[in-house]
A and B are shown apart, each in its own frame.
Chain A
Amino acid sequence: MRADKMRDVAIVAFAQSNCQRDAGAQNEVELIMPVLSEVFKQAGINNAQDVDFTCSGSCDYQQGAAFAFVAGVDALGAVPPIKESHVEMDAAWALYEAWLKIQMGQAESALLYGFGKSSPGELPIVLSQQLDPYYLAPLWVDSIAFAAMQARTMLDSGEITENDMAEVVARSRNNALANNPHAQLKGDQTAADLLKEATYVSPLRRHDCCPISDGACAMIICTIEKAKEWGKPYAVIKGIDHRIETHHIGSRDLSRSVSTEIAAKAAGVANGPVDVAELYAPFSHQEIILKKALGLGDDTVVNPSGGVLAGNVMMASGLSRIGEVAMRIIRGEAKRGVAHATSGPCLQQNLITVLEAK
């Protein structure tokens, strides 16, 4: 959707928890509360009563509890009652819903949060339940297998090499070491070090796959006018768009992300230089697909946080990508950036956000 005919929306606050393999005794509410208090503090507001709308992203299948997102509302303080909504997917889509709410004039400000505890179940198998229920879900084909077949398509065509994939992972871990206190996987390995590792689900090695993480993140957005009233620095959402590809996996060209290409165009990625991009690439080769689909050149810093290969809180990672770019813009490290969020097998659904300094 072209934001030039829309209201600019400001991101004023963002917080995320550490990505950890197992949050242990902490339940979802206990994961959410610290990031909520942090964004309230950053925005200089007291609680959820001080924004007009709240929307969260999570998925009950992850923890195996029905209506877990309702329990998540316990972290908010909903007396007197608030306007609240939920998406059963990544909180980047909760941001999209809130952005629409602001465009419609129904809210001036919104709180978004995403959370996920993937540790209780077998995540790749849990994710197989998002597949078509007749042909694919009964086979229990898991998320890693899809990505592995996608990677082989690209390797077979000569479009990428295993070394290209390892380079992505090495850069991710080095970036996480340098810039990301919340990262789960970080280190100074080289691609050559990584290639010594045996294959896992070949052609993928374990390091080509994002880790499984527990955690949460939160964000506050508002109109530019409201951000000025609050007196807080902010980054501006100049464009946002999402597109979905068919669930019929055989009909897709797995070596491209057509939906990302269309969303990038619609969101206006090419309308200026891109200083920084945070891409939700759960598998190393997908970063290469996305970089190409977004038309990013070598002057764009890709995944300075390490991206989701350094930590992947399902249902929060997409919003975190947007938050990572926004905070870099707010800190003056970049003028213009792109954030990408994905969902589904082999990058089935993609949401692109273009952010600029005010």
Chain B
Amino acid sequence: MSSSAETLSQAFTLGYTYTRSTGPIVGQFLTSLRARKMVGIKASDGKVLMPPVEFDPVSAAALTEFVDVADSGVVKTWCWVKEPRKAHPSDKPFAWAMILLDGADTPMLHWIDAGDEAAMSTGMRVKVRWAAETKGVMDDLNGFVPESVALLTELKPAASDEPIIGVESPSYLTYNFTAGKATSLYLRSMKEGKLVGQRCPKCRNVYIPPRGSCAACGVPTEEQVTLSNKATVESFTIVYIPIPGNPIKPPYVIANLVLDGANLSFLHLLSECKNEDVRIGMRVEALWRPEEEWGFAMENIQYFKPIDEPDMPVDQIGKLIDEGR
């Protein structure tokens, strides 16, 4: 996490690790790729679409008739990428191109390893550079090359002849997350061992964590309110299900807590008591980790634990006593 007077931000990578079923059309295309063969599909008007699609782009009729297509063809249009992005299939400059394979009527999009932009031209002939080992994925096409380029790669036979019915298609996207002004204020305060919320200028509700706006009134919240370490249990649940990656061993208690001075609850762990003794109205207090471990994080508070105070009557929970409401 980097921090400046203005912004708290942190890089993170989001992964969508999908496994997709391919259906009969895409599955057949990928199965053919694995055998180093290209197939298109016949559209309602007799044209051969490449790569094959399930439904006709014009008539929407279901398509079924596969047609063999050559693994070489003509560049219809292209662009030159001088600075490949990290996600791109090549780390050297390369071309994206729409390539009309011999025997097809629509061009397919792929990339061309031509070495230099000067080697590219509209109308040039290119051929597939098959991956040394094919698996039934788009990467079986290791790009295209100008037709004159000699390919020396030794090709292994495909490992399987089972039809492809599904593909792993993970996608990872990298972001630099920036906390909003209110969240930054909250996390900065956490780093100093303080719980700080914000009060709505209109309805007077006190939000923790603050959100920069009152969700009820739709107005900005700017007044800061430093809150107590003491809280009341508004509601709770006991978690019995182990959650992958969560270091806390079930069963454990998650509680909606209303901090003294706030009237809207926030969520934290409750511990140092028997789970069956937890009840609505119970008084608790934050257990902070040692100061040297504090970061810009909720985890600075290890959990809340019961204190020796009488329970809060249920009808008093969430009321701002000093405001008379």
List A residues at the B interface (Cβ < 8 Å). 24-30, 33, 36, 47-48, 61, 63-65, 71, 73-79, 119-122, 124-126, 128-129, 133-142, 145, 148-153, 156, 199-204, 246, 248-251, 254
Contacts and interface: CB of A to CB of B under 8 A. Distances in A.
Contact of A149 (B22, B77, B171): B77
A139 B111 CA distance: 9
Contact of B213 (A63, A75, A152, A251): A75
A79 B20 contact: no
Contacts of B76: 153
B175 A201 contact: no
B180 interface: yes
B81 A201 contact: yes
A243 to B, nearest CB: 14
Contacts of A134: 20, 22, 26, 138, 167, 169
A246 B44 CA distance: 15
29 contacts: A25-B6, A25-B178, A29-B213, A33-B213, A33-B219, A71-B211, A77-B219, A78-B215, A78-B218, A79-B217, A122-B85, A122-B87, A134-B20, A134-B26, A134-B138, A138-B137, A139-B109, A141-B111, A150-B77, A151-B79, A152-B78, A153-B76, A156-B122, A201-B82, A248-B49, A250-B98, A250-B108, A251-B57, A254-B77
Interface in B90-125: 96-98, 106-111, 117, 122
B178 A120 contact: yes
Question: Is the interface on chain B under 10, 10 to 19, 20 to 34, or 35 or more residues?
Answer: 35 or more
Nearest to A136: B109
A149 B98 contact: yes
B109 A133 contact: no
Contacts of A204: 79
A148 B173 CA distance: 23
Contact of A202 (B80, B109, B182): B80
Nearest to A34: B220
Contacts of A63: 175, 177
A129 B15 CA distance: 12
Contacts of B87: 122, 125, 128, 140
B98 A249 contact: yes
B65 interface: no
Contacts of A151: 79
Given A75-B213, A78-B215, A145-B96, A246 B57 contact: yes
A25 B211 contact: no
Given A120-B178, A199-B80, A250-B50, A139 B122 contact: no
Nearest to B110: A139
A140 B171 CA distance: 9
Nearest to A40: B218
A79 B215 CA distance: 8
Contacts of A73: 215
Contacts of A65: 177
A139 B175 contact: no
B98 A77 contact: no
Contacts of B179: 25, 27
B88 interface: yes
Interface of B: 6-8, 12, 14, 16, 18, 20, 22, 26, 49-51, 53, 57-58, 76-82, 85, 87-89, 96-98, 106-111, 117, 122, 137-139, 167, 169, 171, 173-184, 211-220
Contacts of A124: 85
Nearest to A65: B177
A305 B279 CA distance: 60
B2 to A, nearest CB: 12
A135 B22 CA distance: 11
Given A27-B180, A30-B181, A138 B169 contact: yes
A76 B218 contact: yes
A162 to B, nearest CB: 14
Given A71-B211, A136-B109, A148-B79, 20 more contacts: A27-B180, A27-B181, A28-B180, A74-B213, A77-B214, A79-B215, A119-B176, A122-B87, A122-B173, A124-B85, A126-B173, A135-B51, A137-B169, A140-B85, A140-B88, A145-B79, A149-B78, A151-B79, A202-B80, A251-B49
Contacts of A136: 109
Contacts of A150: 77
A136 to B, nearest CB: 6
A151 to B, nearest CB: 8
A24 B88 CA distance: 28
Contacts of B169: 133-134, 137-138
A25 B181 contact: yes
Contact of B180 (A30, A36, A149): A30
Nearest to A32: B213
Given A77-B219, A139-B138, A201-B82, A152 B77 contact: yes
B109 A29 contact: no
A160 B103 CA distance: 30
Contacts of B98: 149, 249-250
A141 B112 CA distance: 13
Contacts of A141: 96, 109, 111
Contacts of A139: 89, 109-111, 138
Contact of B174 (A71, A78, A121, A246): A121
Nearest to B122: A156
Contacts of A122: 85, 87, 173-174
A26 to B, nearest CB: 7
Contacts of B107: 250
A294 to B, nearest CB: 23
B184 A152 contact: no
A33 B79 CA distance: 41
